[in-house]
Structure 1
Amino acid sequence: MTGFFFIAGALFGAMGVALSAAASHGGSVNVATAANFLLFHAPALIVLSLVVAGGRILHIGAAILLVAVLLFSGDLLAREYLGQRLFPFAAPVGGTGMILGWLMLTVGAAFSRRG
């Protein structure tokens, strides 16, 4: 599963750069925001792929972050390119999930056996 988080982080980075370019060439604020959130979380997922062996809570936190960023950014991009939401409250659920994911990482690090 750690390889999966690394690949997801790398893809988040690629998508973030591509969407940043799209936003700078006439995309909306939603596209720019989605790009930023993908880029902010790309290095986090890559680092987590390297330390996730440190405990189950870290693993869960990384998984929550992955899904939450996809929900949040996916909803903003669906609004822009499809003209509709993924589902009602997808962006707020994703945003709340990102907060929860970061808190899970905090708890996981606090109780890590690595010292």
Structure 2
Amino acid sequence: MKPADRLLLAFGGLAGLLGVAASAAAAHMAGTESLKTAAQFLLFHAPAILALVALTASGATHPMATRLAAAALAVGVILFCGDLALRALQGTALFPMAAPTGGVLLMAGWGLAAVAAFIPTKGR
């Protein structure tokens, strides 16, 4: 397994962990709707990232396109969820337009995952 795949795999696990933690925190705090949203996005995208890494490792999809899709999801989750969580917990933004930028990257990641399904792989 390539180092990029290991990094994405580790990030997928970390995203799942943070999603559970954010869900628990949101359940015990008032006024944390944006933290609940961040938790949901973390929990939705963690298995998607793990699956994309598995598809890359199995050779079922074009490796570079699939890695790029997983990376876009990872960076998108960092920006989108990081901004929402920071706003909920500290009342400040990550940086201007962090959440929308993350959202666009998430959409791009899903689009790339769809495209990767149709790019021929070596020997297949």
TM-score range, shorter chain: over 0.9
Select 1:111's aligned residue among 96, 119, 124. 119
Residue 8 of structure 1, CA deviation: 0.6
Residue ranges of structure 1 left out of the alignment (5+ in a row)? none
2:118 corresponds to which letter in structure 1? A
Alpha-carbon separation, structure 1, partners of 2:13 and 2:46: 6
Select 1:81's aligned residue among 89, 95, 104. 89
Residue 81 of structure 1, CA deviation: 1.7
Alpha-carbon separation, structure 2, partners of 1:11 and 1:21: 15
Q: Aligned residue for 2:16? A: 13
Residue 50 of structure 1, CA deviation: 1.3
Q: TM-score, normalised by structure 2?
A: 0.86
Q: Aligned residue for 2:6? A: 3
1:21-70, Cα deviation, whole Å (9 max, x unpaired): 11111250011000000000111111112122432111111111100011
Q: Determine helix, strand or coil for the equivalent of 1:85.
A: coil
Q: Which protein shows a greater Rg?
A: 2
Q: Which has the higher helix share?
A: 1
Q: Would you say how many aligned residue pairs link Structure 1 and Structure 2? A: 115
Q: Identical aligned pairs, as a percentage? A: 42
